Amino acid sequence: MVKKVGVAILGLGVVGGGTYQTLIDHHDFYLKTQQVDLTVEMVLDKSTERLDALGISAEARAKSIEEVIANPNVDIVVETIGGVGAARAFVTAALREGKTVVTSNKELICKHSHELEEIARRTGCGLYYEASCVGGVPIIRTLLDGVQANHIQKMMGIVNGTTNYILTKMANEGADYAETLKEAQRLGYAEFDPTNDVEGFDSTYKLSILSSMAFHTKVPHTHIFREGITKVDGKDIAFGKELGYTLKLLAIGKNTEKGIEVRVHPTFIKSSHPLASVNDSFNAVYMTGDAVDDVMLYGRGAGALPTASAVVSDIIYAATHSDIKYSTFKNKATAEKNTKFITDFESAYYLRLSVADEVGVLAKMTSIFAKCNVSVVEIAQKGRASETSRVPLIIITHATRENSIKKAIAKINETNYAKVEAFIRVEE
C-alpha cells in the first residue's frame, strides 16, 4: 500500500536545492521501489530568485515557520539552513508541533541534539541527521544499523572536503597553503571565511556526533583536541612523502580501557594506508570493531546531490519506518560523570628541526629525548647547512605521550644549538 508523505524544506541553498530537485526527479522511482508518495508541500526561503529558479509554485511558498508547521499535510520538515540561530528555532518549533525533522546541520546536532531529542521523544516524532556528517557517505546509518553488533574501538576519518582538497593539492603540486586556499575558494570548495574548515571546527563537530554514536556515550565537542591546517608547511608534506607518509587532517576517536581519546589535527599516516589514497574533496571513515575488524566507507563528502542523497535517504527512512530510534546513550549537554577522556594521548611524532652543524649536537638532543621518555625511530638530514651553519633534520619517534613530546620540544628550543620548526602527529 502506497503511503503519502508531505515534506517541507527550510532553506534552498546548495543542499536544500539539491534535496528539492532529487525529490522531484526521483518521485516515481521512490513510489515504485519504496511504496511512498513523497510530495514537497511547502518551501521556506527568503530568496525569491532561488524559489523562481526551481519553479516553486506560489501556493508552496511559505512566509514563516508558523505557516509550515501549521500545515496538516506536512509530515516531515527538512532543515538545510545551517548555523544555530534560525535553524535551531525552526527545528524546535517543528518538533514541538510533532513534525519529524531531517537536518544536514552538523553544528546544530553537535551542540543541541540533547535538547532537540528531548522534545522529539516527548512529542513522539523522529530526528534524523545522516547528512550532517560526511556528505553522501552513509556513516550514521552504518553505525545505527550496520555495525551495532560491535564494540567500536577506533575510528579515523577524513571528514572535511575543503581541507582534504588543500592538502592533496599541496602534496601533488608542491603548492603552498595560501595559494591553494585561494584556489579552493575560487572553485567553491572553501568559504570566503574558511575558518570553520581550515581550523578544524567542522571536523570537530562531526567527530563529536560520530564518536558519541560509535562509543555509546556523549562526547561533547569541548572535549575534543583541535588543531587546524593553517600552519602546515609544504616542505613537511614533501619530507613526509619521502619517508613513506601522507598528510591528512584526521578526526580520530579511540575507545580504550583507560578512557576515550578524541582529537582533530594534521596527521601523517603510512602511504599504504587506505585513507592515504582519499584525495581532493572525497571523504572517508575507517573504523575498527571487535567483531567485524576494519571497515572503511568512502565517497563524496559534500556537494548538492551527494548531501541531498543523505537527506532524502533520511526522509524515506522516516516515511517507511514507524519505529523511531533515538540515541543509545544519555544524550545530555555534558558527558556522563563516569566517562573518562584522555588528554595526554599517545602518538608517534614527526619533527623538523634546524640544528647547529657541530660535533656532539645529536648526542645532546638524544639525551633530552631520553630524559623525556621519547624514543627515536629514524633520523634523516635533509639538505646541507645553511648560511647560519644550521642543518635541517627530520626525526620520527616511537609512540609516546603528548606531554612528553611537548616537554622535549620545549627543552630543545631552550638550547642554542637546535630549534623545532614543525611537529606533526603520526598514526601507524
Assess whether 205 and 296 both reside in one domain. Answer: yes
Boundary-marking domain end, from 100, 132, 164: 132
CB atoms closer than 10 angstroms to residue 137: 24
Assess whether 277 and 155 both reside in one domain. Answer: yes
Assess whether 19 and 97 both reside in one domain. Answer: yes
Alpha helix segments (H runs only) across 357-398: 361-371
- Residue of 206, 218, 248, 254 with catalytic role: 206
Q: What is the pLDDT of residue 237?
A: 97
Has 206 been annotated as catalytic? Answer: yes
Assess whether 207 and 288 both reside in one domain. Answer: yes
Assess whether 10 and 93 both reside in one domain. Answer: yes
Boundary-marking domain end, from 300, 323, 354: 300
Q: Give the span between the Cα atoms of 11 and 81, in whole angstroms.
A: 5
Q: List CB contacts of 237: < 8 A, sequence separation 6 or more.
A: 167, 170, 171, 247
Q: What is the pLDDT of residue 384?
A: 66
The answer on pLDDT for 293 being more than 80 is yes
pLDDT digits (tens, 9 = 90+) for 187-207: 888 888 999 999 999 999 999
Q: What is the pLDDT of residue 385?
A: 62
Cα R_g (the chain), whole angstroms: 24
Residue 99 lies in a domain: yes
Q: What is the pLDDT of residue 379?
A: 93
Assess whether 159 and 251 both reside in one domain. Answer: yes
Assess whether 283 and 423 both reside in one domain. Answer: no
Q: Give the span between the Cα atoms of 153 and 254, in whole angstroms.
A: 6
DSSP string, 169-211: HHHHH---HHHHHHHHHHHTSS-SS-HHHHTSHHHHHHHHHHH
Residue 269 lies in a domain: yes
% of the chain surpassing 70 pLDDT = 99
Assess whether 249 and 382 both reside in one domain. Answer: no
CB atoms closer than 10 angstroms to residue 217: 19
CATH of the domain at 409: 3.30.70.260
CATH of the domain at 48: 3.40.50.720
pLDDT digits (tens, 9 = 90+) for 248-275: 999 999 999 999 999 999 999 999 999 9
Assess whether 245 and 214 both reside in one domain. Answer: yes
Angle at 169 between CA 168 and CA 172, to 5 degrees: 85
Residue 64 lies in a domain: yes
CATH of the domain at 149: 3.30.360.10
The answer on pLDDT for 75 being more than 90 is yes
How many domains is the chain built from?
3
Boundary-marking domain end, from 88, 109, 132: 132
- Residue 231's SS3 state is coil
Selection from 378, 299, 376, 344 nearest residue 135 by Cα = 299
Confidence of residue 97 (pLDDT cuts 50, 70, 90): very high
Residue 341 lies in a domain: no
% of the chain surpassing 90 pLDDT = 92
Mean pLDDT throughout 307-330?
A: 96
The answer on pLDDT for 408 being more than 90 is yes
Do 17 and 303 meet the contact criterion of CB atoms below 8 Å apart? no
Q: Range of 251's domain?
A: 144-300
Residue 324 lies in a domain: no
Q: What is the pLDDT of residue 386?
A: 60
Residue 272 lies in a domain: yes
Q: Give the span between the Cα atoms of 149 and 147, in whole angstroms.
A: 5
Q: Give the span between the Cα atoms of 403 and 423, in whole angstroms.
A: 13
Residue 85 lies in a domain: yes
Q: Give the span between the Cα atoms of 319 and 4, in whole angstroms.
A: 9
Confidence of residue 118 (pLDDT cuts 50, 70, 90): very high
Assess whether 383 and 288 both reside in one domain. Answer: no
Query: What is this structure's pTM?
Result: 0.96
pLDDT digits (tens, 9 = 90+) for 20-36: 999 999 999 999 999 99
Q: What is the pLDDT of residue 43?
A: 98
Cα 330 to chain centroid distance, Å, stands at: 22
Mean pLDDT throughout 399-412?
A: 97
Residue 314 lies in a domain: no
Assess whether 365 and 412 both reside in one domain. Answer: yes
Q: Give the span between the Cα atoms of 55 and 40, in whole angstroms.
A: 12
Q: Give the span between the Cα atoms of 182 and 344, in whole angstroms.
A: 35
The answer on pLDDT for 388 being more than 70 is no
Angle at 396 between CA 395 and CA 402, to 5 degrees: 105
Helices (H) and strands (E) in the chain, counts: 15, 16
Pairing of strands 76-79, 36-44: unpaired
Assess whether 126 and 193 both reside in one domain. Answer: no
Residue 18's H or E segment, with its range, is helix 14-25
